[in-house]
Amino acid sequence: MKVEILSRKFIKPSTLTHHSLRDHKISFIDELAPSMNVPIILYYPAQCNNDAAKNASLFNQLEKSLAETLTQFYPLAGRYIKDDHVIYCNDQGVDYVEARVDVQLLEFLDHGDNKPQFFNQFIPRETGAVDETTDPLLSIQLSMFECGGLAVGVSIAHRIADASTLSTFLNAWAIASRVGIDNVTVHPSFNSVFIPGRNLPALNLGIPRSGDNGAKTRMFFFNKKAISTLRTKASTDNDNKGKRGPTRVLLVSAVIWRALVAVAQAKHGHPRASGVLQTINLRKKTVPPLPEHSCGNFWGLAMTGCMGDESRMELQGFVDLIGAAIRNTVTDSANVLSLGEDGHMKLIKAFIEANQNFSNAKMDSYLFTSWCRFPFYEIDFGWGKPVWTSLVSVPVKNFICLMDNKEGDGIEAWVFLDEKDMVDFEQDQTIRAFTT
């Protein structure tokens, strides 16, 4: 497969950002977010059957609506000044690329999930190319397949956005493209006054600015039937028949962690301390609640661990550990805003401890994040909803991202591990039994 770049330029907001908004101070969670671009690719079936005139009209529509949408999402067109922890909203623009692909979309979808390195050709920036004044905060690539199918690849700096912000922006852009900017009902709020910055260090995931670091990427699909079976198994382990079982995100997280504990024990020949950090979206959990379309980073970390001897703990044990950590973090998060300094420190301490765990050679730490229920499959630019959404191969080790499948009843688990660990993880009996 070959992806040929046809054009590259910067798209600026259609209306200049007011001078009073030029300096956007980021929040302390923005500061703590890892130095990386957050990627996603949306795949759409053919609309124009490779008709040159219709394709040109389609691309012009996307470009115009993007410029209009950026007037509301103005920080995304600025640049980060890391010494000052400020987004300079100077309307410098977002990186905008048009490309063509020499294969059919269906051909790629039939085989591409086994070669995640191919996905990287659909986004315009590397994962670690961030936080310098020359780095765009938002980059977009439109890749047209031979059949007229389209991949919309988006890369957004974690310094100013999380998955929720990415979803909010893409849905607003899609509405503007489909029915016009005047009909966009998404009203983003870039307001860090709730949790002002403190000049804190970023969560260190060891991501190089360019190239890779030996990390291996694989996607494992847990379908509806597998999740139902796992829920029954977890309930049986804990004699919870008749009670509402754990969520699919909690189940899949527990299954993956249990397999990782087994991989680590086999690798080292003895039980190892193992920790899980689970990201928690704070938007609907604070009192008072944050604005519906709060943009930036608004997430905390739920943390738990075990000593590593998986033979002593069934699936339900891992479910219980993660579930309890999430409930405790949600409870603590309710008072993040109302408690002021004390509330802020509860969040900050978790990030500090996370950095300590990742640098602890005697402990294996894994970062889990869930993008499930974010409406990526609702993003309709005017030619229908995506047939698939994917991540890319990123140079991050011990990272797991969970995403919905198109039907919303299964989970696609994107797992990023050391290459040798990935080989062993793929051979885990439970992983082999419950995934495709």
Annotated catalytic residues are 158, 380
At position 427, the amino acid (one-letter code) is Q
Q: Minimal CA–CA distance to 100: which of 218, 220, 232, 3? A: 3
Q: Is 67 helix (H, G, I), strand (E, B) or coil?
A: helix
Give the separation between CA 382 and CA 390, rounded to whole angstroms: 20
Three-class secondary structure of residue 19 per DSSP: helix
Contact 238, 251 (CB under 8 A): no
Give me Rg for the CA atoms of the chain: 22
Give the amino acid at 190.
F
Concatenated DSSP letters of 234-294: HHHHTT-TTS----HHHHHHHHHHHHHHHHHHHHHTS--EEEEEEEEE-TTTSSSPPPTTB
Question: What is the distance, to the nearest Å, from the Cα of residue 236 to the centroid of all Cα atoms in its chain?
Answer: 33
Q: Are 381 and 178 in contact (CB under 8 A)?
A: yes
Task: Give Dmax (Cα) for the chain.
Answer: 64
